[in-house]
Structure 1
């Protein structure tokens, strides 16, 4: 089972992608929700807000402890910032991945963009990438491998137990990165339906109105 940190940010979009791969998933709001998980996705959102909520709930310490006990982690965008050991102009949060990262490296929300890239370790065909106020990863430490290097930065990196992406795979039809992380966690996946995906599919996971 894979967990989704559910404190702030893009949770339901990841749930939709995991569901299409036939992967059991759980929202993580407290320490007990981490029990029995093989992996945890830390989603995009606002890194300062997420970091503060992690500290308030004590989940920062619990996630670090569970990670050292074997829990695999994947941070997307803000999640990647929270995982980094070095944050340019800021303080690290979980500090588990030996990289340096720069927040909002592409500009404002208005500078968000979509592109395509080949990531041979992840898929044999081009993968769509969505950047929203994205960071840039640089200065990879020992044991950290680049999965996608673009110009002067790394867009996707990993070590043996952590995956980090500066973009949002959950906002595209592609299941490639979710499948890749599941396999990293030792979880088998279904083929998944990318052609039938619609951006509004995730709405079935949204809270019902009161």
Structure 2
């Protein structure tokens, strides 16, 4: 990791401390982000889990939406986990809510059930071909995704880790396990971006064409 590269973690809710620790374990410089002005000091950003409606309200009230969009359009990497993935999605439903629309996916909120229905699963289809332990807490489900979206991991056929250009989303919480491979992958993306290189995902498992009009299929 370049010593000049810094990854920020939005520190308003969720396990931002756990994300910062995971980043540091893989050699990254991690700082907490609480103001839109802080984005100018970082090369990559993590939007952690939490309550997506609360996070969205904060982003709107604190003027984060525009700077976040500019950050993404500058091809600076952003990684959204669980609620963070909901915020980044093109479309959110059940119930519907506003989102930043920075990655071409449609997600269903709380698709696996309530907090008591949270679970840990071994994701067999992952970007490096090895099983990945994944913690799902009131997790969303990726129901549809665009043709430019790379699927980096699946659980029972459903995408749980995806990437489109510089945006990565996971429906699980990689920060809650000792397996740092997902954070390491993101750190490598930030390094490549900082060096002016385009680094393709480790392995594309599948893609499909998404029609952009109409209601997502259930």
**The TM-score by the shorter chain falls in which range?**
0.7 to 0.9
Q: CA deviation at 1:153?
A: 2.7
Counterpart for residue 34 of structure 2: 29
Aligned to 1:87: 92
* Shift of residue 124, structure 1, vs aligned partner: 4.5
Runs of 4+ in structure 1 deviating by more than 6 angstroms, as ranges, are none
Aligned residues: 187
Structure 1 position 151, deviation (Å): 3.4
Q: Distance in 2 between matches of 1:9 and 1:87?
A: 20
Mapping of residues 54-133 of structure 1, within 5 Å: 54-88=59-93, 89-121=95-127, 123-133=128-138
TM-score (norm 2): 0.81
Question: In the alignment, does 2:7 pair up with 1:2?
Answer: yes
- Deviation (angstroms), 1:152: 5.5
Aligned to 2:180: 175
Could you tell me how far apart the structure 2 residues matched to 1:150 and 1:174 are?
Answer: 17
For residue 148 of structure 2, what is the aligned residue in structure 1? 143
Q: Deviations over 1:23-56 (max 9, x none)?
A: 1011111122111322100000000000000001
Change (3 A) 1:115 1:151: closer
Alignment gaps of 5+ in structure 1: 188-210
Q: Secondary structure at the match of 2:41?
A: coil
Partners of 2:49 and 2:82 within 8 A in 1 = yes
Offset, 1:17: 0.5
Question: Where does residue 39 of structure 1 map in the other structure?
Answer: 44
Contact kept in structure 1, 2:160 and 2:170, CA below 8 Å: yes
Structure 2 distance, partners of 1:151, 1:172, is 20
For 1:67 and 1:50, locate their aligned partners in 2 and report how far apart those are by CA, in whole Å.
18
Contact kept? 2:91, 2:99, Cα under 8 Å: no
Change (3 A) 1:176 1:119: farther
CA RMSD of aligned residues (A): 1.6
Quick one: distance in 2 between partners of 1:2 and 1:103? Answer: 27
Give 5+ residue unaligned stretches, structure 2.
1-5, 193-218
Length-normalised TM-score, structure 1:
0.84
